[in-house]
Amino acid sequence: MLIGFALALAITYAVFFTNWKPGTIKIYHVTRPTSFAMQTRRGGSAPITFGLEGDYKLTEIKAVPLAEWQTNHGVPPVWHLVSDSDPEPVKFFVYGQPIRGLKPAVSGTQPQPLQPNVAYRLFVTAGKARGWHDFKIGGNPSETK
């Protein structure tokens, strides 16, 4: 009976007080209206900033069109970064912008402009922790959700 109790305590400790179990990264997004000239250079949409509930050393970021991804998990991403060294902890990042410690998954590729009123899914990985977030931008920055 004592061995069973000690085993239960050890399992409880491992699950709740260590990184033995992978965590979930919670993600949110915010858009900020910009000048017309800035939007034109970025493909017509307001910049979108993603925030994380905590600081994470991200090892992968990938954004895909949601409708295509739901029917084909091999759909090419519109933005895909992977770790090339020891990444720095980040709490937020802007779509398409470089992130220290991450590089494009395919050398020389650039992030594709996000299309208005198209749903996307963002995947992030930081070691064993993972998260995803669905988002859509509107045609007009004031309509962005």
Q: Two tokens at 89?
A: 């902890």
List own/partner pairs for 16-23 with CB under 8 A and 24 or more apart.
19/127, 19/128, 22/128, 22/129, 22/130, 23/128, 23/129
Q: What fold, for 23-143?
A: Immunoglobulin-like (2.60.40)
- What is the per-residue pLDDT for 86? 81
Element spanning 74, H or E: none
pLDDT band, residue 12 (cuts 50/70/90) = confident
Looking at residue 88, its pLDDT comes to: 87
**Full-prediction pTM beyond 0.75?**
no
Q: What is the pLDDT of residues 74-114, one digit of tens each?
A: 999 999 999 988 888 999 999 999 998 999 999 889 999 99
Q: Does 36 have pLDDT greater than 50?
A: no
> Would you state the pLDDT for residue 78?
96
Domain ranges of the chain: 23-143
